[in-house]
């Protein structure tokens, strides 16, 4: 395999912040998931999902927010029209719980089978938090990756609790600051993919991500996950 071409930094905050309409709560824990063409009624379905499950009724503003997020992410993503014609788009709504009081530091692995000849292309996921705390992100620095590497070995240790061990190791590392409306680009499937975790969930949270690929790549992702291509789920 040829070496990766780093034409897309593994961690970046996109330059333009997105306007996010005001809302304060979610109805329940639920997820919107979609794998399919970008040019489907995705935005309107997602806006409707948010209106149905949060305390905002401003579907038009949500539509604009989602459209801006999708547009900025798609424009930033490496590739021609066919190479990023499809996406995995997800919105997670959560009520407070203690599941991430200890951070779950990890890197995202490979999401789908790469098209032939596109193995070296930098792949990214884009994230925007609409309500509540943003994802915790550590800087893409050698010292952080060096800590992750022995961590993998510790997984097999009888008394090794990897998650707790990493939480302690990263406790004092300065995190990347992500402001309101800011879209974060996360590289995935690479050695230098950013180390990140869900934040502590003390308030209601709405968080969305999108990643792009060709139709073939997204169909391979559907096969891996046992989900349907082009169908709306979670409504
Ligand atoms: Fe992740």
Q: Which residues have their alpha-adjacent CB atom under 5 A from ion ligand 1?
A: 108
Task: Kindly give the distance from the C-alpha atom of residue 187 to the centroid of ligand 1, in angstroms, as a whole number.
Answer: 10
CA of 194 to the centre of ligand 1 (A): 9
CA of 109 to the centre of ligand 1 (A): 8
pLDDT of residue 1: 42
**Residue 233 pLDDT greater than 80, yes or no:** no
Q: Say what the pLDDT of residue 154 is.
A: 59
Ligand 1 centroid to Cα of residue 92, in Å, is 13
Q: Does residue 70 surpass a pLDDT of 90?
A: yes
| Of 182-186, 187-191, 214-218, minimum mean pLDDT range | 187-191
Instruction: Write down the pLDDT at residue 232.
Output: 84
Q: Can you give the pLDDT at residue 8?
A: 76
**% of residues, the chain, pLDDT over 90:** 82
Is 50 exceeded by the pLDDT of residue 167?
A: yes
Could you tell me the distance, in angstroms and rounded to a whole number, from the CA of residue 137 to the centre of ligand 1? 10
SS3 for the chain is: CCCCECCCCCEEECCCCCCCCCCCCECCCEEEEEEEECCCCHHHHHHHHHHHHECCCCHHHHHHHHHHHHHHHHHHCCCCCHHHCEEEEEEEEECCECCCCCCCCECCCCCCCCCCCCCCECCEEEEEEEECCCCEECCCCHHHHHHHHHHHHHCCCCCCCHHHHHHHHCCCCCCCCCCCCCCEEEECCCCCCCCEECCCECCCEEEEEEEEECHHHHHHHHHHHCCCCCCEECC
User: What separation in Å is there between the alpha carbon of 220 and the centre of ligand 1?
Assistant: 19
Instruction: Give the Å distance between the CA of 195 and the centre of ligand 1.
Output: 8
Q: How far is the CA of 164 from the centre of ligand 1 (A)?
A: 17
CA of 49 to the centre of ligand 1 (A): 23
CA–centroid distance, residue 196 to ligand 1 (Å):
6
> What's the 105 CA to ligand 1 centre distance in angstroms?
8
| 192-213 residue pLDDT tens | 999 999 999 999 999 999 999 9
Instruction: Please tell me the distance between residue 45's alpha carbon and the centre of ligand 1 in angstroms.
Output: 24
């Amino acid at each position: 395999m040829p070496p990766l071409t780093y034409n897309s930094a593994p961690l970046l905050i996109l330059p333009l912040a997105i306007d996010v309409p005001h809302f304060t709560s979610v109805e329940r824990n639920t997820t919107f998931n979609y794998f399919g063409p970008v040019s489907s009624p995705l935005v309107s379905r997602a806006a409707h999902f948010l209106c149905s499950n949060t305390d905002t009724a401003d579907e038009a503003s949500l539509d604009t927010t989602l459209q801006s997020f999708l547009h900025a992410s798609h424009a930033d993503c490496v590739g021609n029209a066919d190479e990023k014609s499809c996406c995995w788009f997800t919105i997670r709504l959560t009520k407070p719980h203690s599941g991430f009081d200890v951070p779950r530091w990890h890197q995202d692995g490979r999401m789908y089978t790469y098209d032939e000849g596109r193995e070296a292309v930098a792949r990214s996921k884009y994230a925007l938090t609409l309500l509540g705390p943003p994802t915790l992100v550590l800087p893409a620095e050698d010292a952080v990756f060096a800590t992750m590497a022995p961590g993998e070995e510790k997984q097999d240790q009888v008394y090794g609790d990897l998650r707790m061990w990493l939480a302690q190791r990263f406790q004092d590392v300065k995190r990347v600051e992500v402001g309101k409306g800011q879209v974060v680009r996360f590289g995935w499937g690479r050695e230098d993919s950013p180390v990140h975790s869900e934040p502590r969930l003390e308030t209601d949270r709405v968080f969305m991500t999108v990643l792009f690929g060709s139709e073939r790549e997204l169909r391979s992702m559907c096969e891996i996950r046992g989900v349907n291509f082009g169908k709306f789920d979670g409504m």
